A = this chain, B = another copy of it.
């Protein structure tokens, strides 16, 4: 039953539900054909997209958007072609819809099977990242979902052009044009209505800043999958291999510091601090990383600036790192328990008991031994496409691929059975 007080966006939501019914039973081949159409349209429309994007970039620059924000907002021909490539990759992935998850024959002969089905209507609220428009639309389409997008005012011109192109390609493939829709023209009130659209929207996914995610989680009455921040830790245990410590810490922090799986806090066992920290921190400093150390770190590496309480809870998303010496594995786990956002933590160790304890006791979406935190990623995990990385425990945890955009239903086949 439908329950909503959203007068403005109701027609869009109703169109989305109707489209979702068609998409739920659309064969994979037809969905792939639409994806090929989308990729072709994107490549053929580079000039149009770049022109619309230039408008958004000009407004953003005049409005004082940060360099990082402007970079995420920007689409050039190379990026547009990469988006088209990603859409083609999604067309190659296995369709999750129809997968039989489990099943059995009951003692009375009734056969039950749990089968993957699309959610139906997926809402996405994001900020100033027009690439998300194409990525999410393609992933939703492949998984049989209609999608309602709220991409924010900063990317409004770009998103309008992109949604128009997506809709044309979808319509040409014979699928409902309302498979992909935007509510950007309704502004913030539209976003609020989307969060309250119980019965219309099956799941809402926020992607963006911690503030955006927090707002969606607290204001929504529809189910939300939270893609959260990453205050990511590495613990260098007493027995950590020297070269692994140097390489993994550097890779985790420096390879792409602006993303959620990048390292933010390094913990070192006191018995290994003297052996490891000078080389580990020197290599980071060479790459321009500003180090915030506690007292014991600064004894070994005086160039570090003093760490404050705030540093332990900070997701820098840039070339900064908090570093602390701890007395034991227990103290490392306690520190992580207190400050981690539950995204990714890694231990570098040669001690099998400590490795197992770390894996068992650290409660994060991904827990690692002797590997870079940068591996928590749908592409690296072999999912092909990534909706985001969930830091909640309900439904999806860690990198989300196509199956995470589906629900299931139980198919029950009898021959007249009744319950005794």
Q: How far, in whole Å, are A250 and B419 apart by their CA atoms in the complex?
A: 10
A399 shortest CB reach to chain B, Å: 8
Q: B409 and A363: CB pair below 8 A?
A: yes
Q: Which of A328-347 contact B (CB under 8 A)?
A: 338-341, 346
User: CB within 8 A of A397: which of B368, B375, B408?
Assistant: B408
A346 to B106, CA, bound (A): 17
Most chain B Cβ neighbours within 10 Å, of A243, A313, A366, A394: A394
With a cutoff of 8 Å between Cβ atoms, the chain B residues found around residue A412 in the complex are 346, 366-369, 371, 375-376
Q: Which of B223, B251, B359, B419 contacts A374 (CB 8 A)?
A: B419
> Are A382's CB and B104's CB within 8 A?
yes
Which of chain B's residues have a CB closer than 8 A to the CB of A374?
418-419
A412 to B371 CA separation, bound complex (whole angstroms) = 7
- Copies of this chain, tallied across the complex: 2
Q: Does A135 contact B (CB under 8 A)?
A: no
SS of A interface (majority) = mixed
A126 in the interface, Cβ–Cβ < 8 Å? no
Q: In the bound complex, do residue A217 and residue B203 qualify as a contact, i.e. CB atoms below 8 Å apart?
A: no
Is A275 positioned at the interface, with any CB of B under 8 Å from its CB?
no
> A218 contacts the other chain (Cβ, under 8 Å)?
yes
CB-based contact B341/A1 at 8 Å: yes
Q: How large is the interface on A (under 10, 10 to 19, 20 to 34, 35 or more residues)?
A: 35 or more
Tell me, rounded to whole Å, the shortest Cβ–Cβ distance linking A205 to chain B: 11
- A413 touches which of B231, B250, B369 (Cβ 8 Å): B369
Q: Are B241 and A416 in contact (CB under 8 A)?
A: yes
**At the interface, yes or no: A8 with Cβ under 8 Å from chain B?**
no
How far is it, in angstroms, between the C-alpha of A202 and the C-alpha of B393 when the chains are bound?
A: 7
- A241 vs B415: C-alpha distance when bound (angstroms): 10
Residues of chain B lying within 8 A (CB to CB) of residue A359: 411
Given contacts A363-B120, A398-B410, contact A415 B370 (CB under 8 A): yes
> Known contacts A202-B393, A366-B409, A409-B397; is A419 also within 8 Å of B1 by CB?
no
Q: Are A413 and B368 in contact (CB under 8 A)?
A: yes
Q: Does A182 contact B (CB under 8 A)?
A: no
The answer to the question of A192 belonging to the interface, with a C-beta cut-off of 8 Å to chain B, is no
Say yes or no: B410 contacts A366, CB within 8 Å. Answer: yes
Say yes or no for A233: interface residue by CB 8 A criterion. no
A417 touches B381 (CB 8 A): no
Contact A217 B225 (CB under 8 A): no
Q: How far is the CB of A45 from chain B (nearest CB, A)?
A: 32
A142 contacts the other chain (Cβ, under 8 Å)?
no
Residues of B within 8 A of A398 (CB): 114, 408-410
In the complex, 16 of the A-B residue pairs with CB atoms within 8 angstroms, ordered by the A residue number, are: A1-B231, A24-B363, A110-B375, A223-B224, A223-B392, A346-B412, A363-B409, A367-B412, A370-B414, A371-B417, A372-B417, A375-B412, A375-B414, A375-B419, A393-B407, A394-B394
A-B contact sample (6 more), CB < 8 A, given A1-B313, A202-B393: A1-B338, A104-B382, A223-B223, A369-B412, A370-B415, A372-B419
